[in-house]
Each structure stands twice: as structure tokens, then as C-alpha cells.
Amino acid sequence: MTNCSPFFPELNRRAEYQVKSNGNYYQYSHYRQEIREDCLGRCVYCDGHENELGGIDSMVLDHFRPTKYEEHKHLKNDPNNLVWACPGCNHLKSSHWPALGMQETFVDNTGFIDPFNENLNEYFKIKDDGSIVALKPPANYKIKLLSLNRITRKRIRELRNIKLLWIKGFEENIQKIEFLLKQKGIIEKIEEILRSHLKWLLSTKSSLEKALLDFNLY
Ligand SMILES: [Zn+2]
């Protein structure tokens, strides 16, 4: 498990993407791996991680500003306009872009939030049951348009919350036992039991963490 936030971790674009020897961009599909890494393997819309959605092949490149519009045609191969997305969000987003012709990515209460320039946790809150709620516009527009509370995504977020609780429970138990073992005067038998329990907790926590919260990119 990486140290990033459980939901909508901060994303940073690399300073430079690869270009051809003449300085022009490659065809946009060339940037799949770089965009994937910059988005930490997550769909920037629903926050589903590729490891939760069936792996790298289950994800697509999304043109953040849809290139169907004349105003955006020049962005077709620009990697700075590409984000990592699940096919569901990519399909639902389609060519919707309420802020057409504007520098901003949303206007009034509608539009999209640039995941590289904004902290999405200021726009969305994830409840314990995995549902996503809007904190400020245009979050509600995105939740409705992209159906961000569709059952598959709600379930993914709920499971992530449950897994995090399990891991936290292990950590707390480990700390308690480590504290007890540092105390003087505990009879030998109890110490032996505690050490064996601690060993089990540590190894099980580590295997659970690896199996349940693996956000590494392969
Ligand atoms: Zn998605």
C-alpha cells in the first residue's frame, strides 16, 4: 500500500512528456503509461483504482477537454489534456463540456474539476457506506452526469473503507501488545502468548495489506 490518501490523492503531472525529435507530440495513445503513472492508476472521476477494476487493460485514456469541438481540436495529442479513466466514466462523460470556449473547466454549477490543479477532497466527501456526496459545485453536476454513486463504484469505496478499518484494527492491537511487552513483571507464560499473538498479527496485517490495498502499478 502506498502512503497516498485513501480517496482522491493529490495528483501531479510530470514536468515534461515525451516529444518527437521535431518537438511535436506523439499520437495520444503513446502517452498511456505516463498518464497512468501521473494519475496513480486511478480513474480521475470515480476514484476507482485499476487494481480494483480489473487491471491496466480495463482503463482508458480520456481527453479531459473533449476534442470533438473545434476549440479543442488542437488538444487531440496533447498529453496535458489526457487523464486516466475507467470506461464507464469515460462513456458517461462523452463530449460533455459546459465551459466551452472558456479557460475555466466549469461555469456556474456545471462542468468538470481539473484533478491536477484542484484538491478533489474539497469538492467530494466519501461516506462510510461508500457513497459520494457533493461539498460544492460543480461536484453535484459530476455526481449526476457520471453516475458516481453507481453501485459498482459505491461498493468499491465501501470495501476500501472496510479494508482500511481492518488494517487500523490490526495496527491498534499490535501497538497495545508491543506496549504490554515493554512492561516489567509480566509472567513468562503471558509474555510467550503475547509474542506469538504479536507475530501472527504482524504477518497477517502485512499479507492483508498486500492483498487488499495494493495500489502499486504493475
Ligand atoms: Zn471511473
Q: Ligand 1: distance of its center to the CA of 46 in Å?
A: 4
Q: Ligand 1: distance of its center to the CA of 88 in Å?
A: 6
Does residue 109 belong to any structural domain of this protein?
A: no
Does residue 35 belong to any structural domain of this protein?
A: no
**Rounded mean pLDDT of 89-109?**
96
pLDDT digit string (tens) for 50-84? 999 999 999 999 999 999 999 999 999 999 999 99
Q: Ligand 1: distance of its center to the CA of 53 in Å?
A: 9
Does residue 176 belong to any structural domain of this protein?
A: yes
Domain span at 198: 154-212
Q: What is the per-residue pLDDT for 4?
A: 53
pLDDT digit string (tens) for 154-207? 999 999 999 999 999 999 999 999 998 888 777 888 888 899 999 999 999 988
**Based on the structure, what is the number of domains in the chain?**
1
Q: Ligand 1: distance of its center to the CA of 51 in Å?
A: 13
Q: What percent of the chain has pLDDT over 90?
A: 80
Does residue 124 belong to any structural domain of this protein?
A: no
Does residue 198 belong to any structural domain of this protein?
A: yes
Q: What is the per-residue pLDDT for 1?
A: 47
> Any idea what DSSP says for residue 99?
T
Mean pLDDT of the chain: 93
